[in-house]
Amino acid sequence: MDLLEAMSVFVRVVESGSLTAAADRCAISPTMVGNHLRALEKHLGATLLQRTTRRQRLTEFGAAYYDRCIEILGLVADADSLAQRAQAEPRGRLRVTAPVTFGTERLAARLAEYLTAHPAVDLEIVLTDRVVDLLGDGFDAAIRLGALEPSRLVARRLADYPMVVCASPDYCRRRGTPASPQDLGTHDCLAFAYAPSSEWSRMGNEWHAFGPEGEETIVVRSRVVINSAQGLRRAAVASAGIAMLPTVLVFEDLRAGRLVHLFPEYRTPSRPLHVVFPGDRYRSPKLRSFVDFLMQTFGREL
């Protein structure tokens, strides 16, 4: 018995739902599929599938063995393709989605480096804060901000996405500079209109800061709520109020003095940033090269 072949046939049976469908995918007869399964179960000394004329169901051992087969076959495929990848040049069109602010302020500014290193790859970058369906919408990868929902996608963590509380010098002269986060309750604050499904949706009127005494929760009064970080930035620069904004968006404003970093001794919340992609596509040289580029460029800091 070829153990790897039998494992592969077993995986196909589980994924396709029947011996007949697995036979079509493996280009062998249903009888041969059954022979592989019986030989594998005999080799293991355990039942993998409980089969009737109408349905099949994994046994408890079969479910655990299936997960290991996926892992092992993936490693074998990776090892088998090492030589091919060494010879293969990344090429073709790569479709990637990214959050609007990160994509505009950081990703777009570094794309020339990737394109220079990989002249045979064309990039299509779609900037949206919506969580897209990678397979359904035809994307190769997505950069996602915030906590990830459980899925079969492979995730690689990038540097955290920090926030900063800031206001214009004119606002501070006119209304006074708050001495601590608790003073925000008496100031005009600018809030981001998060989607109801976002784990940050409560940030509209409730901000958090971490200082010497631990975490502090501040209820703020938001006279202006905007669903655009760039819109909030412009309002803050124009002295409309105090905002909590991504550091990547206001870095230049802080350096130029158009905005003032409030409470630098406090740490404001940051959000995790990941690149996610279907595991079976990682063997593609173009996707692997882009994921490697993201990890090297944004893996430690943004």
User: What's the pTM?
Assistant: 0.67
CA dist., res. 202 & res. 249, Å (int): 21
DSSP conformation letters of 201-238: GGGGTEEEEEETTEEEEEE-EEEEEES-HHHHHHHHHT
CA dist., res. 248 & res. 239, Å (int): 20
pLDDT per position in the chain (302 positions), as tens? 898 899 999 999 888 888 888 888 888 898 898 898 899 888 989 998 887 767 788 898 989 998 999 999 989 888 877 766 656 789 899 999 999 999 999 999 999 999 999 999 999 999 999 899 998 899 999 999 988 988 889 999 999 999 999 999 999 999 999 999 999 999 999 998 877 666 666 555 788 899 888 888 988 988 899 989 999 999 999 999 999 999 999 999 999 999 999 999 999 888 999 999 998 888 889 999 999 999 999 999 88
Q: Which domains does the chain have, with CATH numbers?
A: 3-80 (1.10.10.10), 90-160+272-298 (3.40.190.10), 163-269 (3.40.190.290)
Residue 197, strand partner residues: none
In which residue are the tokens 């899925």 written?
151
Tokens of 100: 């609007």
CA dist., res. 119 & res. 91, Å (int): 8
Three-class SS state of 300: coil
Work out the number of other CB atoms within 10 angstroms of the CB of residue 18.
14
